[in-house]
Amino acid sequence: RTYKRQIVCRRDIDVFNVPFLAIYESLIPPEEEKLKQKQLVALLEKLVSKEWPAAKLYLYGSCANSFGVSKSDIDVCLAIEEADLDKAKIIMKLADIFQSDNLQNVQALTRARVPIVKLMDPVTGISCDICINNLLAVVNTKLLQDYARIDPRLRQLAFIIKHWAKSRRVNETYHGTLSSYAYVLMCIHYLQMRRPAILPCLQEMETTYSVTVDDIHCAFFDKVEKLSDFGRHNKETIAQLVRGFFHYWAYCHDYANTVISVRTGSIISKREKDWTRRIGNDRHLICIEDPFETSHDLGRVVDKYSIKVLREEFERAAEVMQNDPNPCFKLFEPY
C-alpha cells in the first residue's frame, strides 16, 4: 500500500510541476531584450556624462537582480557626488537632458518619496525610471542576484509568486499591498527556512563583500559559485514549494508577533524590533525586515484593509494549491 501511495504522490507532483515550469519559462526575458536594456543604459550614461563626467549609472531592481520578467520597465540609479546635492534640481536637469535627445514621455517626479525621472526610449520601446544615489538599492539588488545564483528553485518560485501577485492585484504598494522586492524576500526567507535548507543565510557567513552606504554597513558572503550544491539534500519541487509558500502565509505565519528576516535567515520577534504598535503610518501588520536598512519594514505599506485582502488571497491560493486538480488556471485568474 505504501508503495502504491508513493507512486500516486510522485505522479501528482510531476503533473503539477510541468505547468509551473512552463509558466516560469514563458516569463523569462529573451537575451535580445537584456541586450536592448544595456544599450539604453549606455545611451543614457553617454548623455549624463556630458553634464556630470564623473557620474555613473547602475541598473538595479528586477532587470538586474534576475527576478525580472519579460517586458519589465528598468530601474536605473544615477550615482553622483555633488557638494550641495539638491535632488529635485538634478531631476529637473536630467529631464531637460533627456527631452532634448528625443527620449519620450519624459517626466520629472520631484515630489515623490523617491524623486525620479521617467522616460521611454522610442527605439527599443523600453520604459525606465531613474533615481539619484539610491545605492542601497544597488547593493540589495546584488544580494538578491547572488541568492538567485545558489539554487534555481528560488528564481522559479519568485517568478511564480510575482506572477500570482500581479494577476491577483496584490503587488500594488499604492493600494497597500506588497512590492515585488518584498515578495522576493519572502521567497528567499521561505527557502532559508526549509529543512533541509534550500538557501543559506549569506549575511551570517564569512564576509567576502562589504560596502558602507548611507552609514549602513552592508556585508555578506558573495562567492556563491561555491554554494551551487547547497540545496542538494532538499528534493522539493517547484510545485511543492509554491504550495508550501502559500500554506505558510495562509495558515502558519504568526502575524501578531513575528518578523521575517532574510538578514538572520530566521524569524524574529516584533518586540525585539519595537514593531508591536502603530507609529505614525507604520502599522506593522505584516513584517518583512529589509536585509540592510533593518529599521525598514517592507510591510509598512499594508493597512487594516489591505492586510485582509492579502491574507484572503494567501488563503485562496493555498486552497487552490491544495484542492484544485489543475491549479494554474485558478491561481493566476485575473482579479
Residues 297-316 that bind ligand CTP (CB under 6 A): 298
Between 253 and 296, CB nearer to ligand CTP = 296
Question: Closest approach of Cβ 5 to ligand CTP, in Å?
Answer: 40
- Selected from 40, 48, 137, 150, the binder of ligand CTP by CB under 6 A is 137
CB neighbours of 294 closer than 8 A, spacing ≥ 6?
263, 273
- As beta bridge partners, residue 130 has 76, 117
Q: Give the x/- contact pattern for ligand CTP in 181-220, rule: CB under 6 A.
A: x---------------------------------------
* Integer Cα distance of 335 and 333 in angstroms: 6
Question: Closest approach of Cβ 118 to Mg ion, in Å?
Answer: 12
Between 33 and 101, CB nearer to Mg ion = 33
Between 65 and 306, CB nearer to ligand CTP = 65
| Residue of 262, 258, 286 whose CA lies nearest to 191 | 262
Question: Any idea how long the chain is?
Answer: 335
* Integer Cα distance of 331 and 54 in angstroms: 48
Locus of grid cell 491574507: 311
Residues that bind Mg ion (CB under 5 A): 61-62, 75
115 touches ligand CTP (CB under 6 A)? no
Question: Closest approach of Cβ 293 to ligand CTP, in Å?
Answer: 8
Residue 68 near residue 62, CB atoms below 8 Å? yes
Name the H helices within 74-134.
87-99
Question: Closest approach of Cβ 242 to ligand CTP, in Å?
Answer: 18
- Selected from 37, 141, 192, 258, the binder of ligand CTP by CB under 6 A is 141
Which contacts (CB < 8 Å, 24+ apart) does range 35-39 have? 36/124, 36/126, 37/63, 37/74, 37/124, 37/126, 39/124
Q: Out of ligand CTP, Mg ion, none, which partner does residue 192 contact, by CB within 5 to 8 A per kind? A: none
Between 68 and 231, CB nearer to ligand CTP = 68
CB neighbours of 309 closer than 8 A, spacing ≥ 6?
170, 176, 177
Question: Closest approach of Cβ 102 to Mg ion, in Å?
Answer: 24
Residues 145-184 that bind ligand CTP (CB under 6 A): 179-181
Residues 65-84 that bind ligand CTP (CB under 6 A): 65, 67-68, 72, 75
Strands 74-79 and 127-132: what pairing? parallel
Binding site for ligand CTP (CB under 6 A): 60-62, 65, 67-68, 72, 75, 137, 140-141, 179-181, 298
